[in-house]
Amino acid sequence: MRRVVCLCMVLLLAGCGGAALSHDGGRATLPGPLPSGVRFAAATSKAQAPPFSLKLLDGTPVQAAKLWGDRPVVVFFFASWCSRCAAQQDRLAPLVKRYRDVVTFVGVGAQDKAPAVKSWLDAHDVTYPVAIDGGQDMWRRYAVRQPPAVVLIAPGGKLERGWTGGVTTDVLDTELKRLVQR
153 located within any domain: yes
Cis ω on the peptide bond leading into residue 33 (within 30° of 0)?
no
Give me the percent of the chain exceeding a pLDDT of 90.
72
Look at residue 142 in the predicted model and tell me its pLDDT: 96
Coil, helix or strand at residue 40 = strand
CATH number reported for the structural domain that contains residue 84 in this entry: 3.40.30.10
Burial class (CB in 10 A: 0-12, 13-18, 19+), 39: exposed
Q: How many domains does the chain have?
A: 1
| pLDDT 10s digits, 77-128 | 999 999 999 999 999 999 999 999 999 999 999 888 999 999 999 999 899 9
| Structural domain that includes position 107 | 22-181
Note the pTM of the prediction, 2 decimals: 0.85
Give 23's pLDDT tier (boundaries 50, 70, 90): low
